[in-house]
């Protein structure tokens, strides 16, 4: 069987999954390398033999050596399948990419130019593509974009209230977490066909967090903007903030642009508010009032923004939770729905995130013919 490798590369992790290239996209195996740059660990789960392996990787493991380890492991454990292609999760596709694309030098140049718009993710996403191209020269590689699901937004949702001189520079809203939302739209179509036509607010609540207003399975509005910093507060990102406050911090605190970027992306959100952790589970288990304060803030902002998404849709028929917090933290879900109890009754669902299968589906639907020829 021909197989597709999906890769989701972050600042300190690489998550991989292998799917058979057939109509039902059988899951063959999956795993991850975590704590790259620290005490890197490789873990894999093989579905067929229900086998799990964990290997400690040498100190000094880089993204490239971790990827090389993954590839070596895969190619030495081929079991009735051949590796035929790889698909990468890429956070920003800019104005150009509205669908998955075969990655070539020109595509990479364009995607590199978007790195300042997603400094936490894009450079790692692209480095994995370069590394894989060196390790497996002829392997076709594809990009799936977190911005793509939102590309049908009308002009009203895209704009910032800035003068044309700024908008002409491409200052506009995009939206992210699109692979997660596309997967939810797919699951609704399969499992809740009546809801898939309805007014749905999807809440991706994890270390990154955003909302998507969907109608007829399409994105109408979303909380993230030009960058993945906007909207809800997150693990370490601030979410929406008065732009004037950022100007004030630069002047008053003497922050350079890089220092401000570090503060807003890596030191804020749950971590900044609590001074304890970016991790919602750790905060939920803590008796420290600062932890409670950070979680109360998160719940309030989620509630407020969901109501805003409902306003975009002219009502809400279903609220769908996904992501690590959305799937596992029933307390936070209950507080959010309680805060929305002034709205007419709507359905509450949890759909587990599966961006990897969503990517495999996108690639199979778009490039299946050329891949299985």
Q: Residues 84, 146, 191, 258: which is the catalytic one?
A: 146
| 150 three-state secondary structure | helix
Q: Segment near ligand AMP (CB under 6 A), from 149-157, 182-190, 274-282, 303-311?
A: 274-282
Q: Segment near ligand AMP (CB under 6 A), from 216-224, 242-250, 260-268, 317-325?
A: 317-325
Whole-number Å distance between alpha carbons of 373 and 368? 8
Q: Name the one residue in this structure whose structure tokens are 């992790």.
A: 13
Instruction: Specify the residue, 84 or 279, whose C-beta has the smaller distance to ligand AMP.
Output: 279
Find out whether 237 and 228 touch, Cβ atoms under 8 Å.
yes
Find out whether 17 and 1 touch, Cβ atoms under 8 Å.
no
258 annotated active-site: no
- Total residues in contact with ligand AMP, by rule CB under 6 A: 11
DSSP 8-state secondary structure symbol assigned to residue 58:
P
| Packing angle, helices 178-191 and 355-372, rounded to 10 | 80
CA distances from 335 to 46, 171, 248, 296, 302 (A): 38, 35, 34, 9, 10
Which string of x and - marks every residue 195-224 that binds ligand AMP (by CB under 6 A)? -----------xx-----------------
163: phi then psi, degrees, rounded to nearest 5: -70, 160
CA nearest neighbour of 320 among 176, 210, 175 = 210
Q: How far is the CB of 274 from ligand AMP (least distance, A)?
A: 11
Q: Which of 64, 261, 279, 347 is in the footprint of ligand AMP by CB under 6 A?
A: 279
Q: Segment near ligand AMP (CB under 6 A), from 75-83, 127-135, 190-198, 275-283?
A: 275-283
Instruction: Specify the residue, 14 or 131, whose C-beta has the smaller distance to ligand AMP.
Output: 14
329 makes contact with ligand AMP (CB under 6 A): yes
Q: How far is the CB of 235 from ligand AMP (least distance, A)?
A: 6
Find out whether 332 and 205 touch, Cβ atoms under 8 Å.
yes
Distance of alpha carbon 161 from its chain centroid, rounded?
26
Distance of alpha carbon 59 from its chain centroid, rounded?
28
Q: Which of 280, 291, 294, 360 is in the footprint of ligand AMP by CB under 6 A?
A: 280
328 makes contact with ligand AMP (CB under 6 A): yes
Q: What angle do CA 356, 361, 10 make, to 5 degrees?
A: 25
9 makes contact with ligand AMP (CB under 6 A): no
325 makes contact with ligand AMP (CB under 6 A): yes
CA nearest neighbour of 346 among 224, 199, 208, 230 = 199
Q: Which of 55, 281, 288, 372 is in the footprint of ligand AMP by CB under 6 A?
A: 281
354 makes contact with ligand AMP (CB under 6 A): no
Catalytic residue set: 146
Q: Which residues bind to ligand AMP, rule: CB under 6 A?
A: 206-207, 235, 279-281, 323-325, 328-329
């Amino acid at each position: 069987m021909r197989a597709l490798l999906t890769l989701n590369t972050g600042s300190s992790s690489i998550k991989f999954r292998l799917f058979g290239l057939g109509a039902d996209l059988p899951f063959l195996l999956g795993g991850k390398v975590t704590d790259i740059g620290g005490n890197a660990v490789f873990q894999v789960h093989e579905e067929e033999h229900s086998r799990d392996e964990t290997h400690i990787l040498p100190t000094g493991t880089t993204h490239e050596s971790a990827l090389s380890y993954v590839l070596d492991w895969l190619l030495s454990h081929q079991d009735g399948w051949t590796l035929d292609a790889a698909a990468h999760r890429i956070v920003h596709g800019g104005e150009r990419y509205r669908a998955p694309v075969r990655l070539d030098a020109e595509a990479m140049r364009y995607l590199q130019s978007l790195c300042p718009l997603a400094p936490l993710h894009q450079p790692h996403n692209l480095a994995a593509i370069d590394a894989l191209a060196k390790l497996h020269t002829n392997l076709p590689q594809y990009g799936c974009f977190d911005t793509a699901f939102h590309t049908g937004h009308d002009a009203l949702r895209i704009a910032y209230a800035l003068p044309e001189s700024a908008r002409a520079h491409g200052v506009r809203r995009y939206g992210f977490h699109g692979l997660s939302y596309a997967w939810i739209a797919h699951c609704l179509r399969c499992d809740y066909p009546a809801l898939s036509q309805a007014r749905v607010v999807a809440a991706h609540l994890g270390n990154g967090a955003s909302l998507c207003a969907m109608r007829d399975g399409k994105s109408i509005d979303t909380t993230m903007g030009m960058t993945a910093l906007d909207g809800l507060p997150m693990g370490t990102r601030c979410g929406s903030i008065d732009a004037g406050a950022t100007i004030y911090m630069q002047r008053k605190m003497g922050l350079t642009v890089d220092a401000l970027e570090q503060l807003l992306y890596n030191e804020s959100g749950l971590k900044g508010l609590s001074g304890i952790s970016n991790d919602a589970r750790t905060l939920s288990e803590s008796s420290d009032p600062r932890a409670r304060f950070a979680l109360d803030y998160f719940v309030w902002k989620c509630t407020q923004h969901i109501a805003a998404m409902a306003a975009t849709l002219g009502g809400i028929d279903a609220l769908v939770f996904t992501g690590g917090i959305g799937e596992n933290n029933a307390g936070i879900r209950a507080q959010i729905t309680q805060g929305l109890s002034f709205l007419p009754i709507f359905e509450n669902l949890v759909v587990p995130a599966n961006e990897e299968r969503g990517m495999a589906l996108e690639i199979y639907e778009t490039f299946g013919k050329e891949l299985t020829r």
